[in-house]
């Protein structure tokens, strides 16, 4: 696999590479992402799952319904978000990318759950719920 984009956790026990351009870069304001990241808003970079490879043995998973989040079992850094209803996609935390400035978000999702004190002054599209349609028409 020829890596176009690489990243990993804080301690480098988990590394990953993507051999394609991302299909999604956006902010998520939902409560679940807030709890998983510990931040008032999360940013994700989405790739086709078959274009991603992992190295290292410390990747741990947490499943909650159709969603699986991964993190480093050594340093605890959040790494990915996967929704079984989007089987072809994997979303990396923007901060896990080695060059996060290369991925400019293009939208906001779940602004209906945005914290009232958080003001982001950009002109990006804002979606009240998910910005990614599931094949069955449901939101995450």
Q: Encoding tokens for residue 27? A: 């902010």
What is the Cα–Cα distance from 91 to 79, expressed in whole angstroms? 8
21: tokens are 């351009």
With a cut of 70, say whether residue 137 has pLDDT above it: no
Q: Average of pLDDT values for 96-113?
A: 97
| Residue 77 confidence (pLDDT) above 90 | yes
- Predicted confidence (pLDDT) per residue in 5-28, tens digit: 999 999 999 999 999 999 999 999
Q: Please check the confidence at residue 114 and state whether its pLDDT lies above 60.
A: yes
Evaluate if residue 115 carries a pLDDT over 80.
Answer: yes
Cα(43)–Cα(21) distance, rounded to whole angstroms?
16
On the question of pLDDT at 121 being above 70, the answer is yes
> Residue 72: pLDDT band by 50, 70, 90 thresholds?
very high
| Residue 3: predicted pLDDT | 65
With tokens 């940013």, the residue in question is 43
Cα(first)–Cα(last) distance of the chain, in Å? 31
Q: What pTM was computed for the model?
A: 0.90
DSSP-derived pairing of the beta strands 89-93 and 42-48: antiparallel
């Amino acid at each position: 696999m020829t890596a176009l984009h690489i990243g990993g956790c804080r301690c480098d026990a988990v590394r990953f590479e993507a051999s394609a351009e991302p299909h999604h870069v956006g902010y998520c304001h939902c409560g679940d992402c807030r709890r998983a990241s510990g931040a008032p808003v999360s940013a994700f970079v989405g790739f086709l799952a078959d274009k991603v490879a992992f190295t290292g043995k410390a990747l741990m998973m947490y499943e909650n319904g159709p969603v699986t989040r991964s993190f480093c079992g050594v340093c605890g850094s959040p790494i990915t978000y996967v929704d079984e209803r989007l089987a072809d996609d994997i979303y990396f935390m923007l901060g896990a990318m080695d060059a996060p400035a290369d991925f400019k978000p293009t939208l906001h999702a779940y602004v209906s759950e945005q914290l009232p004190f958080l003001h982001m002054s950009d002109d990006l599209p804002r979606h009240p719920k998910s910005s990614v349609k599931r094949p069955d028409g449901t939101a995450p």
